[in-house]
Structure 1
Amino acid sequence: MHKGRVVFGAMEEVVFGRPAREAIIEQIDRLGASRAFLMVSGTLNRETDEIENIRRALGPRCVATFDAMPPHTPRAAVIAASEQARAAKADLIVTVGGGSITDGAKAVQLCLANDIRSVDDIDRLRAVNGALPPMAAPAVRQISVPTTIAGGEFSALAGVTNEKTRVKELLHHPLVMPRAAILDPALGAHTPEWLWLSTGIRAVDHCVEGICSREAHPYGDAQALKGLSMLAQALPRVKADANDLDARMDCQIGTWLSMGALVSGVPMGASHGIGYVLGAEFDVPHGYTSCVMLPFVMRWNKPDNAERQALVSAAMGHPGKDAGDVLDAFIRGLGMPRSLRDVRVGPEHFDRIAEQAMKTPWVPRNPRKIDGPAQVREILVLAA
């Protein structure tokens, strides 16, 4: 008999296949906002007219623009954005960009609500030993227009990097989930190929670790399996033709579905946990961490969950094949890195990575039990 708990998030709408500029205006009208604070990609702001077109459409309802969020969402940038939003008296945050910007806006919401004004103050927001501190709920919420496909806009989690410790820390509140997500495939045409495809593998990772979890349930499976199928078909189409907007739209919808298991309460596993450390400690792009780790984690896990892994192979169009091999070939076919060596991480770092990975929320919930750093190191050696 199935047992479990499904959590429904605070997102109200997903708009897909519409120009972002039009959909943003409709959402602002729906929400009754009058002071929109834009948190956007610096590249889009400085090298295209996409952000200026949004500002022009908003008119006086755009009160400020922040375009300086680095990868991995460092604390200092979160504080800088928070101070700018506070000074502008923002009543809504609109993000246009990748996952670091989306996560940054989630953190800004908590900073505004809890009078967080310095990098050290962020300690008051982070979970300690898995327990969340008491905090005020965000009053200034966000809507998000993603330009990459890792899927963070569909979660109530924000990963923020502590520059002092080089650890990515999770912030959480149910209401940091955006009120709406707007999926505009045309904006993705500005995203570098490596970034689109690698974040697509991050979405694949969400699907795969959700399907393979010990805590998987039918509600999450339905979304993850369909999302994985769509991503497996659409990512190579984007690789073949960057102007194929139908393929980009399928990638975005597949990414939306990829978050179904995680958002509804299914934990991720060692690929995500190790990935957090590789990103914060070694500045490896988070999409690349999945490219490098996921097939090896699958191979290490297979003795304990071969039956679930068979679902992955079938969803990717290769029933009966080894899931680790299928993922390896798929990632190689997209031209993505496939080893820790490829992302400049060597064996001399493995002990530290293993120790740090054990402190993430995901490694202890990997489907094949990981009792300590020595087992994480076994996976890292496979991925070397």
Structure 2
Amino acid sequence: MLSGIHGHQDIERVVYGRPAGGAVRAEAERVGARRVFVTTSKSVAQSPLLAGIVGALGGRHVGTYAGITAHSPRPCVIEGARLAREAAADLIVAVGGGSVIDATKVMLVALWQKATRIEDLDPYRAGRPKEGAAPPSEAIRPPADAIRMIAVPTTLSAAEFNAYAGITDPRHGIKESFGHRLIVPRVIVLDPAATFATPMDLMLSTGLKAVDHAVERLCSQQAHPFVIGTASEALKLLAKALPAHKARPDDMETRLDLQFGMWLSIGAGTSGVGVGASHSIGHVLGAACGVPHGHTSCVMLPSVLRWNLPANADRQKRASEAFGQPAVPAADLVAGLVRTLGLPGRLADVGVGRDRFREIAEKAMHDRAVLNNPRPISGPAQVVEILELAA
């Protein structure tokens, strides 16, 4: 009999289908924030979206840090926290994709714990994984008036919907997890127009990341009715809306469908049902090889599904049913979607050769998601088998 715990996030509300500027201003007023600091990336900082949010905040805006780069490196976390601290911020608004949002989550930890150097973050990493779960560090102790954040996502990575963050440590070329229930945003603003400046490749590839969130949980041995319901509906939306978005990028309803699909895809994560080898290998591909966040799912998910098939064929059929083609293997459906969207489908397409496979496999064994994989992975040799399928 299945057993577990479904947790509810410390997200107060999700505002959807409304202009981001007005929504952020209204929420800042609602929570009583007077000194709002904005975090973003260089590309988003040059967009009308950021100008609109800053303009709507008016006198509440006390500064912007636009230096966050891909995979949320620790130096960006420390620099952003320093600037927010100097601005005496009482609320942070993260505007951007998963890298911006994850970095901002750990900026909160740095502010709470007065961390000023990258090594100061070491005590606050999540604990050693056990059965796929990495417990938050007990060293994280937010003050009573802990600063929180609002998120305005510009991609479909869904980082804003969970209380963990993946942060790259440049000293070791690995991505580590940081978690605390209060690093999740108080408010998430899903404005379809906020994705207008997002390049098509980034929008589609992070959409595949959302597909990965849904598929790996739907195919998990721990999947239960809540997971099956949310993940299946996510796949139905994403499988239809991603090709539609490529064909009609100006359609606002399709963009909102993508945001709803992304939201549903991550919902199962609060139920204690984790992701598997596609995510664990993907984390290493990003941190060690510089593969863009969404592309990791494009190149790994089909091969992980094929490798797992002997262990979870019945579960994978659920994914095929969500795609509307129950007789077609889930791996083929995902690979077909990747091709339809014109995204890279093999490791060679993203510049990763066999000379890196052993390194990737060894580092992936330290990622907590390996412990959740439906077909048990006992050592690096099995990860190499998966990488060979994706070569």
Larger mean CA deviation between 148-157 and 260-269 belongs to 260-269
8 Å CA contact retained: 2:101, 2:160? yes
Q: Secondary structure at the match of 1:251?
A: helix
How far off is 1:187 after superposition?
A: 1.7
1:87-98 equivalences under 5 Å are 87-98=86-97
3-state SS in 1 of match to 2:167: strand
1:128-147 to structure 2, matched below 5 A, reads 128-130=127-129, 131=135, 132-137=137-142, 139-147=146-154
Aligned position for 1:55:
54
Structure 1, 298-307 or 130-139: larger mean CA deviation: 130-139
Residue equivalent to 1:35: 35
Instruction: In structure 2, give the amino acid aligned to 1:346.
Output: G
3-state SS of the aligned residue for 2:14? strand
Paired residue for 2:132?
A: none
Other structure's SS at 2:196 match: helix
The Cα RMSD (Å) is: 1.0
Q: Deviations over 1:17-62 (max 9, x none)?
A: 100011101111111111111012322322x332222212111101
Cross-structure match for 1:121: 120
One-letter code of the match for 2:78? I
Residues matched between the structures, number? 383
Instruction: Return the match for 2:208 from 201, 213, 228.
Output: 201
C-alpha contact (below 8 Å) 1:38/1:94 kept by paired residues? yes
Aligned counterparts, 1:307-346, within 5 A: 307-346=314-353
Determine if contact 1:97/1:147 at 8 Å carries over to the other structure: yes
Taking the aligned partners of 2:4 and 2:50, their CA distance within structure 1 comes to: 43
Superposed, 1:1-384 pairs within 5 Å as 1-46=1-46, 48-130=47-129, 131=135, 132-137=137-142, 139-384=146-391
1:21 and 1:310 mapped to 2: Cα distance? Answer: 42
Cα deviation for residue 2 of structure 1 reads: 3.2
Residues 200, 231 of structure 1: 8 Å contact kept? yes
Distance 1:279 1:286 in 2: 6
Aligned mates of 1:49, 1:4 — CA distance in 2: 44
How many Å apart are 1:128 and its aligned residue? Answer: 4.0
Once the two structures are superposed, what CA deviation does each residue of 1:52-76 show, in whole Å capped at 9, x if it has no partner?
2221211110111011100000011
Comparing 8-17 and 200-209, the one that deviates more: 8-17
The share of aligned pairs that are identical, in percent, is 47
One-letter amino acid matched to 1:13: R
Unaligned runs of 5+ in 2: 130-134
Offset of residue 242 of structure 1: 1.1
Secondary structure of the 1:368 match is coil
- Specify the SS of the correspondent of 2:358: helix
Q: Output the CA distance in 2 between the equivalents of 1:258 and 1:49.
A: 28
| 1: CA distance, partners of 2:50 / 2:347 | 36
Give SS of 2:368's match: coil
Secondary structure at the aligned position of 1:190 is classed as coil
- The alignment's TM-score, normalised by the length of structure 1, stands at 0.98
**Partners of 1:43 and 1:297 in 2: CA distance:** 33
SS in 2 for 1:259: helix
Letter of the 1:14 partner, please give it. Answer: V
Distance 2:372 2:95 in 1: 33
Residue identity opposite 2:88 in structure 1: K
Contact 1:185 1:245 in 2 (8 A): yes
Once the two structures are TM-superposed, the CA of residue 135 in structure 1 deviates from its matched residue by: 1.5
Which ranges of 4 or more aligned residues in structure 1 deviate by more than 4 Å?
Answer: none
Contact 2:4 2:271 in 1 (8 A): no
> Residues 327-372 of structure 1, C-alpha deviation per residue, up to 9 Å, x if partnerless?
1111110001000000100011111111000100001220111111
